[in-house]
Structure formats: C-alpha cells, structure tokens
Structure 1
Amino acid sequence: MSDDIKPEIRRAPPRMRWPGERHVAVVFNVAYEAWTEQGASAIGPMGNPLRPGVFDLNADSYGRYGANVGIRRLMTILDRAGIAANVYVSGVLSERDPDRVRAVAVAGHEIVTHGYAQDLVPASLTPEEDEDYMRRATTGLAKVIGAQPTGWISPRATAGVDTFRRLVRHGYKWQGDALDDDLPYLQTYPEGALVAVPLAIELNDLSHAMRWGRTPRQFVDMFDEALSHLLAATDDVVILDVLCHAHCYGRPAGAWAYDEIAKKCADRQDIWVTTRGKIADHFLSLL
C-alpha cells in the first residue's frame, strides 16, 4: 500500500457553526508521551549539545517526567475545572502504565492514539514498520481502555505517505495531523473516509517555552488576546487549541498557566469547550 493515492476532499459546508451557534471551539489537549528504551526526547533543558553518538540521559530523564508525575498534575487541574480534554497517549504506555492510562479514560477524557512512541515518527518509518507500530499502539490502548480509539495524532504530527489510509483500515474516525485549514474536512480514500480535524499550533507549551523562551504568564496572555480577538470576529468559525505536554508544563512552574486558562474557560457560554472527536461528529452531522 504505497501508491501515494491522494484523497478526495470534502470541505466544511458554508456558514458552518458550532453547536449553540457559537463560532469559537476551544480544545484542551494534553500530550502524555513516552519514548522507546533506545530513544529519548529530542528536546531537553540543556543548551550545550553532546558529541554525536552519545545517548542524552538528561533529555531522557526530562521526557520521563510527564509519565511519572506531570500527567497526574494536569489531570487534577482538568478535573477541578470540569473539562474533558484530548489526551494524546503513546501506545507504549498501555504496556508500561496501563492503570494510569485507564484512569485517564475513566475520568472522561478522550484518548487519542499518539503513535507507539515519540521517537517513531511515521514519516521516518518503512510501510511495514508504520503498520506494525500502528497495530501495536491501537490494540494496546483498546485493551486497556476497553474501546477502540477513534482519533489519531502522529508523533510530531507528521504522518507517513500512507498513514491515513492505514488509519481507516484500523478503524479510526479522525486524525489531527492537519495544519492546512481552520475547519474539519473529509478525506476519502479507497479504504474509506477519515475526518481531518486541524491542529492550531500557536498555544503549544513546548515550542512556547523550549523554542521561544517565553514565560507561563505570556502563555496565559497569548490565550487571552487570541480568544478576545477570535470572539470579536463573529463570521470566522475556528478551533483554538491549548496544548500542554505532561513533561513540560506538567511541571509546577508551568502547570499553573494551564490551570488558569482552564478556569477561564470552564463556565463560559460563548465558546464551545470540546474535544476533537466531538468536532468530527458535529462536522459529519452537517454533511
């Protein structure tokens, strides 16, 4: 299955709105990630590079924080706010910490398959590897949470040539690797259809803090400014993502910012606080 078949695309209908005639959907996202035993986070807190071939134990330890500690803190924050989030789960965590993965699902969050491990980016895998790791991630998570995951976001949000076609074959309903639109659209392949639910990348704690060196206060301020302007643009129907990595803003000095944004959104009636799965369902209901 490597014919690089382009899908037939069906865009959102004109004048599409979110439920309640709202035009801004806000999605809270948590990246709950892990790496293979041979891999490590590509991003760590130390700026000086190691010589080639040296395994970065510092970055490895940094990445492990999310599964060890950060995920619990972020789940507590969302529980207090009464918000159900999209939680991107590396499939390997269904083997390493099934009880924690199950607890996230039982708490009402939408489990999104986030590949098998973060150092296994589909675009860098052979077709056989992509198929194998997708199967292992999907079956592992399904066994732990007791249901087939319906949503997928690749590590690095970077699919391979045929990843989406494989997702259809494995029973997925939607994917979040798209960055090329504001609204969902339907991708139809020979194997079937898949909803692309685009990912808004502006409020991403990892790039915000690790790449640009911005502060948690700036994270909150960016959200406030974005939401204010989006609500004023009443003809522009959009998704606003707030993405927190359990190993980055799952730490105490950053988690308060995620907490503050969650509190700001919890009881608002002028936005739709939702998940990608619900966005996909709403979009399909309008076709």
Structure 2
Amino acid sequence: MTENECEKLHLTQDLCWPGGRRIAVVFNLAYEMWSPGVTSGVGPMGNMLADGLFDPNADSYGRYNATHGIPRLVSILERHDIPATLMTSGLVAEAFPERLRAYAERGHDIVGHGMAQNMVFPTLSTQDALHSVTRTTELIEAAIGQRPAGWISPRVTSSTEIQEILLAQGYAWHADVLDGDHPYVQQFREGNILAIPMSVEFNDLPHAMRFGRTPGQFVDLVKEALAGIQAQPPETIILDIFAHGHCYGRPAAAWAIDEIAKICRNDKSIWLTTRSEISTHLARLGECAA
C-alpha cells in the first residue's frame, strides 16, 4: 500500500442485528454552526446574495440550528426513547458545552462533525484539515468528558487521508462512505477503522430546499420505503433519517420527525440505534477486531 491507501475487509454476509432483526434505523441530527462571518449555504429566501456578500438572512436562519432546532428535535426523540446521533460541530461544543454534556449523559451519541459546517475537507489544506479534526475532538471531549467514538464529516465528505487522521486520533468508526450497505473495516498501515456507510434517501435539507417537498411527503417517503423493504426478501441494512436543526427543527416541520419516530418505535422488527452501538455490536461478534 502507498501512503494513505487502505484495504477493505468486508464483513460476513449473514450479518444480523440484535434479536435477529434486519433493519437498523439511525436518527442523525445535524448540530451545526458556521465560522464567524460565514453563513449557511441555504436560506429561506432561496436566493443567496451574489458576489460573496454576507447574507444576514442566511446567517440568522443557520443560527436557529443550535439554539432552537436541535433542542426541539432531541426532545422529540426522547419522548419516543430513541437515541439521537448528534453530528456536532466543534464550535457547538465550544459554545454549548453544558447542553452537549447533558445530551451525552442522557444516552445520545455525540459524533465529531468538523469545527464548522463550512469547513468541507476537500476545500482545506492538510494542516487545516488536521486542525479541524484535532480541535473538534478536543472541544467535544472537554464538553462531555470523553472522546467521541465516531466521526461524520460536513457533507459526509472526506478522503482516505482524512480517515487515516481519524484513526490516529483514536476514532473507532466513521460514516464518510456511501459505497455499500454493510459496515466494513479499512486497514491502514497503522491500524484499522470501521467504515459504516450512510444511506441517503431520507434527508430533510435536500427534501425541502432542493425538491420543495412537504413534511408530510417526508413521512410518506419513510412509510412507503419501510413497507417496500419489508415486502422484499429479508436483508440486513441501515436506514438513516437526517434532520437539521435549522430546517426540520422548526415547529412547522418537526412534527414529521415525531411521526417517523412513532412509526419506527411501533415496528418491533426495527433496531433503533446509533453507529456507535453498531460498532460495539460488531466488536462483540468479533467482526471488526483491530
């Protein structure tokens, strides 16, 4: 292997989740902030100001995420006794450490998500990328009292170079891959890290902002998919539900996450889980030993 290359070790094909279940559902809440002077790339007006002008409308829209949207979404999942995967910006951990610690103490999975949502890895120098990983990790650890086990990059976008940095920082898993249904082990020269692929069908941001669909259609999309999957020959999969605090964290849309949570909670064939729990489950099976 050359530098930053890795080999993939695929897991057994007869994988099952606890209790013999086949469908794992993960609720991913994007707990995000942007660097000072940078705004969310989307806004309610639909037309960002041109020529790089600072857009106070988009800035205010994005700030809603950490202050109002995520607390509402977390409370919804807690009503259904569902653990949230909180994809957490380092800036969030720095600004709201006590709240983040409370979420961790209540059993939610606090996941590294980069220093700021605008810091997408392909746009960063190697040094800035390293700083994003190390500083985010430090801030989350300071807030919750332990290092996060997992990482999901802004835009779910990284490279084997970044993934090797995550390995060096002690991460057990990352989800910056879309190339499979089952987790697999990435083998680097210095050790192994578990890659747990994301599914992309249920994401509030493109659903609302790109396609202009309603919260009701979001619920229907999940209901129809579950019915269709369960009518097929059984296979073991992970389904991801994404909600951003500044998008579906608002009252007019958050009810859709409540409805989806209710549907999933009432279906006993579904394992409501987090990627850290998936990583632990595989380790118990001896599937991803270092």
SS of equivalent to 2:202: coil
Q: How far apart are residue 161 of structure 1 and its match? A: 4.9
After TM superposition, the structure 1 = structure 2 runs for residues 29-178 of structure 1, keeping only pairs within 5 Å, are: 29-178=28-177
* Alpha-carbon distance in 1 for matches of 2:279, 2:228: 25
CA deviation string 1:167-211 (max 9, x = no partner): 001000000111110110000111211111111111000010011
Which is worse superposed, 249-258 or 233-242?
233-242
Which amino acid in structure 1 is aligned with residue 214 of structure 2?
Answer: T
CA gap of 1:161–1:279, structure 2 versus 1, over 3 A, is closer
**Partner of residue 10, structure 1:** 9
* 2:33 counterpart of 1:27: no
Q: How far apart are residue 49 of structure 1 and its match? A: 3.7
**Does the 8 A contact of 1:206 with 1:244 survive in 2?**
yes
**Does the 8 A contact of 1:208 with 1:214 survive in 2?**
yes
**Does the 8 A contact of 1:23 with 1:231 survive in 2?**
no
Q: Number of residues paired by the alignment? A: 285
* Alpha-carbon distance in 2 for matches of 1:175, 1:114: 10
CA deviation string 1:44-98 (max 9, x = no partner): 1112342202111111111110111111111110111011111101011111111
Which amino acid in structure 1 is aligned with residue 87 of structure 2?
Answer: Y
* Alpha-carbon distance in 2 for matches of 1:24, 1:234: 12
CA deviation string 1:127-148 (max 9, x = no partner): 1111112111001101110111
Q: How far apart are residue 28 of structure 1 and its match? A: 1.0
Which amino acid in structure 2 is aligned with residue 198 of structure 1?
Answer: P
After TM superposition, the structure 1 = structure 2 runs for residues 115-264 of structure 1, keeping only pairs within 5 Å, are: 115-264=114-263
Which amino acid in structure 2 is aligned with residue 246 of structure 1?
Answer: G
RMSD: 1.3
* Alpha-carbon distance in 2 for matches of 1:183, 1:83: 22
**Does the 8 A contact of 1:101 with 1:145 survive in 2?**
yes
* Alpha-carbon distance in 2 for matches of 1:55, 1:161: 33
SS of equivalent to 2:186: strand
Which amino acid in structure 2 is aligned with residue 277 of structure 1?
Answer: S
Unaligned segments of structure 2, at least 5 residues? none
**Does the 8 A contact of 2:42 with 2:48 survive in 1?**
no
* Alpha-carbon distance in 1 for matches of 2:93, 2:111: 12
SS of equivalent to 1:29: strand
Unaligned segments of structure 1, at least 5 residues? none
Q: How far apart are residue 232 of structure 1 and its match? A: 2.2
**Does the 8 A contact of 1:124 with 1:160 survive in 2?**
no
* 2:281 counterpart of 1:282: yes
Which amino acid in structure 2 is aligned with residue 109 of structure 1?
Answer: H
SS of equivalent to 2:279: helix
Name the % identity.
Answer: 47
After the TM superposition, which parts of structure 1 deviate over 4 Å for at least 4 consecutive aligned residues? Answer: none
